[in-house]
Structure 1
């Protein structure tokens, strides 16, 4: 397990994050450029070893109800990876590349594909175009309102 100081050094190595000391010796790491309401990438890093990273928009992580993952036992590589993915997920449109695609599913396992082409986000059901959006945030909001989520 990384020490508190090692975790802080890793978090502070990301110039996009702003350190904020909070109560009881805990430290948060704020990402001001987040395109969604969530601004804390790192939350309640504590000398006892606990610390949380927001992964609510990142696939492949089991999160708590607020979208955080406990990184207490993470290695340096694992911590760096989840922080990079968290920042990328909160950056929104800026991380999309031409032809990039995301799969979204509803509770009945229906699948929609969101694809970025020509500075637009297109929503497909199979080969059928369902909708088009000017921003990723619009597409994500629509999909969530319709009961879809990413895996």
Structure 2
């Protein structure tokens, strides 16, 4: 496990991050050039080595409901990858853009049944006529369900 000092040294090697001291000797690191209200990349780095990195909804991480992942046991390579990904998320418009677009797709199966996939706020909802059938947190999850049930879009 990396020490607090080692983690701090790795994090501070990113010149685009700004250190902010918080309570109980913990540190936050902000990406001030974020395109979003969210600026915190590293949250509550503690002298005991605990802390979190914001990775949003990237599928390669098992993040919590706030998009954070614990870095207590992270290796140097893992920590660097998380920080790089976090800065990427906060500096790329298209990452969050897909969450606010109103998307509606019609999916059909071989029997001719139709389901509609509609993005509403941050959810991807599947409707049969006007009835909500399923709801997912990402397009990928909804698409996986539809494909597994034998539905295809005209693009598939």
TM (norm. structure 1) is 0.66
Partner of 1:126: none
Partner of 1:81: 81
Gaps in structure 1 of 5+ consecutive residues: 94-134
Partner of 1:147: 123
SS at match of 1:81: helix
Q: 2:5 & 2:43 partners in 1: Cα distance?
A: 15
Q: 8 Å contact 1:57–1:90 — kept in the other structure?
A: no
**1:59-74 paired onto structure 2 within 5 Å:** 59-74=59-74
Aligned-residue CA RMSD in angstroms?
A: 1.9
SS at match of 1:23: coil
TM (norm. structure 2) is 0.64
Q: Summarize the Cα distance change of 1:57–1:92 in structure 2 as closer, same or farther, 3 Å threshold.
A: farther
Q: CA deviation at 1:138?
A: 3.9
Between the two proteins, the alignment pairs up a number of residues equal to 110
Q: 1:77 & 1:68 partners in 2: Cα distance?
A: 17
Q: 1:56 & 1:37 partners in 2: Cα distance?
A: 13
